Amino acid sequence: MSLVDELVQMLGRPYVVTGEEAMASYTVDWRGRYSGHALAVVKPGSTDEVAQVVRWCAENRVPMVPQGGNTGLCGGATPDASGRAVVVSLTRLNQIRSVDTDNDTMVVEAGCILQSVQQAARDVDRLFPLSLAAEGSCTLGGNLATNAGGTQVLRYGNARDLVLGLEVVTAQGEIWHGLRGLRKDNTGYDLRNLYIGSEGTLGIITAATVKLYPLPVAQCTALLALNAVEDAVTVLSAARKGFGAALTGFELIAGECLQGVVTCYPQQRIPFEGASAGLPWYALLELSDSESEAHARERFEAVVGDAIEAGLVLDAVIAENITQSESLWHLRESIPLAEKAFGKSIKHDVSIPVSLMAEFVETTNALLQERFPGIQHVIFGHLGDGNLHYNVAKGQAFSEEGLLAKQNAIYEVVHDSVHRFGGSISAEHGVGQLKRDLLPRYKDPTELALMRRIKHALDPDGLMNPGKMLAS
């Protein structure tokens, strides 16, 4: 009996996908930058079946590549070219197991689409605050594997901060039943936080106990027009002081990004007239209020009004209703799609201390233009938590092929600059294949050595998502 026949016997024919064409959507990443081959794609329907698959892979020395919605941007869920690996798709593990509104927790399986998790929380008058552009197709397991961030980190934290307990299948096929809904549990090493952000290199997350929050009574959203990143940082400080924990989002967007969206999607528009529609920078703010619509509006207008009077904000559009608010967020969330439609770009997901953000952008832009004149800067991100998507496009000076030929040199300029400013070369997208070989250049050697020891201790045979995060 062949290896594939054994998998079919284990899971059933419908849940074992073979053949290059049938597996194509699982072996190529969302950006089309990474592709590989697989022995098969398997779709277990329960945690026990995941454990069965892992034990079989361990016995047969078959590498495993866990995969959720395959929306990652660093090649972390794409098999290598050998064709030896089994892609373990978690999409059938898509149940909300339980909801506890007294404890404000929900137990969710790894294959649940993020948008479905958000809706399940709303159905019980609660909020699950993890929110990002791919929420209609990404899965919770993938979000946890990469410690996803998104637009509300400023108030609620990264994915890691939204989880109380995990269920994990280890590299040996054991099941760790860690779905505790406790906010205090001081009984040993924090295994939960070890697996979150490990990109499937230590084990496979099959379910999680996540935190829920009260739904806000009112939300206010505004798009502000600005002249400089420095002004955006000053407005952010004022918003933090004026709103406190009610400030849930503060996005920085280069004017070129919005122009790209409306060029690509003519049904959308920049909601300003005249010169305000062509300014170099914009900020998208959101306030969530627990009292009333009137209270939220009053606080919002006071902070924004002060910023206008101080000359920091040149123009502002405050959403009058949910539809207008969704329209403003849709502009922001359409940036990655528009960027992809214009061709491949060189993406950087970096974090910088907020106080140094303006200097970083100015310095790095100048360095890139000096070495690669005419290159286009596509800059947007979550200024509130210091996370910038500092992307580089071909502009008028390069072809797509010409740009990609300079990828390593551009990475070096940007990442060296990030390092000088005390930042990180990965803020929320993970490491995957994309940044794996860069870690030795930027991470502390002792830190990297500790990571290798953990990997060897938990996955001594190196079968869990090989070639991701740590070079073999």
d(CA 238, CA 312): 11
Q: Is residue 471 part of a domain?
A: no
Average pLDDT, the chain: 94
Q: Are residues 209 and 101 in the same domain?
A: yes
Q: Are residues 312 and 366 in the same domain?
A: no
Q: Is residue 365 part of a domain?
A: yes
Place of tokens 């060189």: 346
Q: Are residues 263 and 321 in the same domain?
A: yes
d(CA 102, CA 71): 33
Q: Are residues 204 and 121 in the same domain?
A: yes
Q: Are residues 131 and 225 in the same domain?
A: no
Decide if 47 contacts 169 (C-beta within 8 A): yes
Condensed to tens digits (0 to 9), the pLDDT of residues 450-465 reads: 999 999 999 999 999 9
* Domain end (from 170, 194, 214): 214
pLDDT at 33: 83
Q: Is residue 463 part of a domain?
A: no
Q: Is residue 101 part of a domain?
A: yes
Decide if 88 contacts 50 (C-beta within 8 A): yes
Q: Which of 276, 229, 279, 270 is nearest to 390 (CA)?
A: 229
Dig out the tokens for 458 from the structure: 């938990």
Q: Are residues 251 and 302 in the same domain?
A: yes
Q: What is the domain-level CATH number for residue 69?
A: 3.30.43.10
Q: What is the domain-level CATH number for residue 199?
A: 3.30.465.10
Condensed to tens digits (0 to 9), the pLDDT of residues 101-126 reads: 999 999 999 999 999 999 999 999 99
- Structural domain span for residue 108: 96-214
How many structural domains compose the chain? 4
pLDDT at 472: 67
Q: Are residues 8 and 62 in the same domain?
A: yes
Question: How large is the average pLDDT for residues 400-427?
Answer: 96
Decide if 344 contacts 400 (C-beta within 8 A): yes
Q: Is residue 149 part of a domain?
A: yes
Dig out the tokens for 337 from the structure: 């799609």
Query: Helix axis angle, 407-420 relative to 357-371, nearest 10°?
Result: 150
* Domain end (from 42, 66, 89): 89
Q: Taken in order 180, 186, 187, 188, is the CA torsion positive or negative?
A: positive
Decide if 388 contacts 350 (C-beta within 8 A): yes
Question: How large is the average pLDDT for residues 11-37?
Answer: 93
| Coil, helix or strand at residue 273 | coil
pLDDT at 141: 97
Q: Is residue 191 part of a domain?
A: yes
d(CA 470, CA 430): 12
Question: How large is the average pLDDT for residues 324-340?
Answer: 91
Report residue 309: phi and psi, to 5°: -60, -35
Question: How large is the average pLDDT for residues 401-422?
Answer: 96
CB count within 10 Å of CB 253 equals: 23
Q: What is the domain-level CATH number for residue 283?
A: 3.30.70.2190
Pairing of strands 40-42, 86-89: parallel
Q: Are residues 223 and 262 in the same domain?
A: yes
Condensed to tens digits (0 to 9), the pLDDT of residues 343-389 reads: 889 999 999 999 999 999 999 999 999 999 999 999 999 999 999 99
Whether the full predicted model's pTM is greater than 0.75, yes or no, is: yes
Q: Is residue 355 part of a domain?
A: yes
Q: What is the domain-level CATH number for residue 434?
A: 3.30.70.2740
Q: Are residues 70 and 112 in the same domain?
A: no
Q: Which of 350, 347, 349 is nearest to 423 (CA)?
A: 350
User: If you count them, how many residues does the chain have?
Assistant: 472
Q: Are residues 388 and 310 in the same domain?
A: no
d(CA 123, CA 104): 13
Q: Are residues 48 and 74 in the same domain?
A: yes
Give Cβ neighbours of residue 279 (< 8 Å, ≥ 6 apart).
225, 226, 227, 255, 272, 314, 315
Report residue 76: phi and psi, to 5°: -75, -15
Q: Is residue 123 part of a domain?
A: yes
